[in-house]
Structure 1
């Protein structure tokens, strides 16, 4: 039978993250473990929410965005509304990434220009020294 409860150490090992990260997700309301004394006991639901959170974070979205998306699927709603919300969030995130990409390209172009100028100045100095 599949394990339906997990310790913080088991989840940290499984997902290659620190227990501190798991506690942060708990503080943010993403995970809600049961307690046995001082021990946290995570359910299969917590495990799934952790996996989804990590997937959303890999996409570069914030914890708040992760929580919103995960909560949306945890609460029964109109599926069409859920999909529209997901598409809106993904498009907004895509737009932010494209803007960052443009900024990075501009910065790289500027770095290339300054690098070339520095190379030329160094060559002139070497020629002057003979």
Structure 2
């Protein structure tokens, strides 16, 4: 009994425009087995699942996930109907990502503080030069 409405389909150009990326990027994600559109002849036909995947790939990228990490999640979704496992994995990944970002934040804070010191020293020496206190 296959009585679901025919779902919308998209061309590669439509998806590229919608997400503001190049068709080449989409083809690359296919090569990496992140998406698998149907084909008629030379043309790719993307369904809703592909569109959702593309959205998730781009969100993952924005959050700093590697394509390998995104792929791992997709494989989990495909092979494992148990959403608890998926959610656990996602939580692990977000924890790791957060740890990396916190480290970067710490590094940036340290650098900013060092820049403050350099700036302060430069300003002090400049004002002494202007007062003619340095021979």
Q: TM-score range by the shorter chain?
A: 0.7 to 0.9
Matched residue of 2:132: which SS? helix
- 2: CA distance between counterparts of 1:128 and 1:77? 77
Secondary structure at the aligned position of 1:40 is classed as: strand
Instruction: Return the offset for 1:10.
Output: 0.3
- Structure 2 residue aligned with 1:56: 60
For the pair 1:26 / 2:54, whether they are aligned, the reply is no
Higher helix proportion, which one?
Answer: 1
Structure 1 runs not aligned, ≥5 long: none
Structure 2 unaligned blocks of 5 or more: none
Instruction: Indicate the RMSD between aligned Cα atoms, in angstroms.
Output: 2.2
Aligned to 2:70: 66
1:45 corresponds in structure 2 to 49
TM-score normalised by L of structure 1 = 0.84
TM-superposition CA deviations, 1:35-87 (whole Å, max 9, x none): 34433322221111001111222222111111212222233343322222111
Matches within 5 A, 1:1-130: 4-128=8-132
Runs (4+) of structure 1 exceeding 4 A deviation are none
1:12, 1:112 → 2: CA distance? 44
Would you say how many aligned residue pairs link Structure 1 and Structure 2? Answer: 129
More deviation, 86-95/116-125: 116-125
Whether the 8 Å contact between 1:5 and 1:42 is mirrored in structure 2 is yes
**What is the TM-score of this pair, normalised by structure 2?**
0.81
